[in-house]
């Protein structure tokens, strides 16, 4: 049994899996136009933005990594802005 490499990946792996389950749940809520789906999507987008900024701190990063991360953040902001439009909000009532 190899414990040293696999043991450290347990908790982060579970957190990523849990986040993925929430993302799939939010996608179902958006697809079915449920009010909770819109709210969950906005919350997960905000969390993703925060995690993206945290991933940029304290590391040597290339221009490509920084630009892709910032494009991802811009996409998440666009999703939040779209879901916050009054016409779209009305769909989820």
Q: What is the mean pLDDT of each run of 10 residues along the chain (93 residues)?
A: 58 86 96 96 96 88 92 97 96 90
| Number of domains comprising the chain | 1
Q: Which domain holds residue 48?
A: 4-91
Residue among 90, 75, 79, 86 at smallest CA distance from 26: 79
Q: Which residue shows structure tokens 């993206």?
A: 52
Q: Which residue shows structure tokens 């016409």?
A: 87
User: What pLDDT, on the 0 to 100 scale, is given for residue 12?
Assistant: 78
User: What pLDDT, on the 0 to 100 scale, is given for residue 5?
Assistant: 56
User: What pLDDT, on the 0 to 100 scale, is given for residue 7?
Assistant: 57
User: What pLDDT, on the 0 to 100 scale, is given for residue 51?
Assistant: 92
pTM: 0.82
Enumerate residues 6+ apart whose C-beta is below 8 A from 34.
Answer: 92
């Amino acid at each position: 049994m190899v414990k040293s490499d696999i043991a450290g990946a347990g908790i982060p792996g579970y957190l990523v899996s849990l986040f993925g389950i929430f993302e799939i749940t939010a996608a179902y809520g958006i697809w079915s136009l449920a009010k909770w789906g819109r709210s969950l999507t906005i919350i997960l987008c905000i969390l993703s933005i925060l995690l993206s900024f945290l991933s940029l701190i304290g590391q040597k990063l290339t221009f490509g990594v920084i630009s892709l991360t910032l494009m991802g953040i811009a996409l998440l902001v666009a999703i939040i802005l779209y879901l916050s439009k009054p016409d779209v909000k009305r769909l989820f009532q």
